[in-house]
Structure 1
Amino acid sequence: MGTATGSAFDTETLRRAIEGNTGNSLLALYADDAEIHIIDRNAQPSHPKVLHGRGEIAELLDDVYSRDMTHKLDQCVMQGDHAAFTESCQYGDGTRVLAESMITLRDGKIAEQILIQAWDE
Structure 2
Amino acid sequence: MTTMAAPSAFDTRALREGIERSDADALLALYADDAELRMVDRKTQPSHPLVMHGLDEIGAMLNDVYSRELSHKLERVVLDGDRLAFMESCRYPDGVQVLVTSVADLRDGRIVDQTSIQAWDEDEQAK
- The answer to whether TM tops 0.5 is yes
| Letter in structure 2 aligned against 1:109 | R
The match for 1:57 is 58
Q: 2:7 aligns with which of 5, 17, 20?
A: 5
- The CA distance in 1 between the partners of 2:22 and 2:108, in whole Å, is 26
The match for 2:104 is 103
The match for 1:73 is 74
Q: Deviations over 1:9-29 (max 9, x none)?
A: 132221112112321100110
With normalisation by structure 1, the TM-score equals: 0.92
Cα deviation, residue 5, structure 1 = 2.4
Compute the RMSD of aligned alpha carbons. 1.2
Dislocated runs of 4+, deviation >3 Å: none
Q: Deviations over 1:27-77 (max 9, x none)?
A: 110001100010000100011110000000111011111110011100011
| Letter in structure 1 aligned against 2:60 | E
Q: How many residues align?
A: 117
The match for 1:46 is 47
Matched, 1:17 2:6: no
- Report % sequence identity: 56
- The CA distance in 2 between the partners of 1:34 and 1:97, in whole Å, is 24
- Give 5+ residue unaligned stretches, structure 1: none
- The CA distance in 2 between the partners of 1:23 and 1:112, in whole Å, is 18
- Give 5+ residue unaligned stretches, structure 2: 1-5, 123-127
Cα deviation, residue 96, structure 1 = 0.3
| Letter in structure 2 aligned against 1:113 | Q
> SS at the partner of 2:34?
strand
> SS at the partner of 2:115?
strand
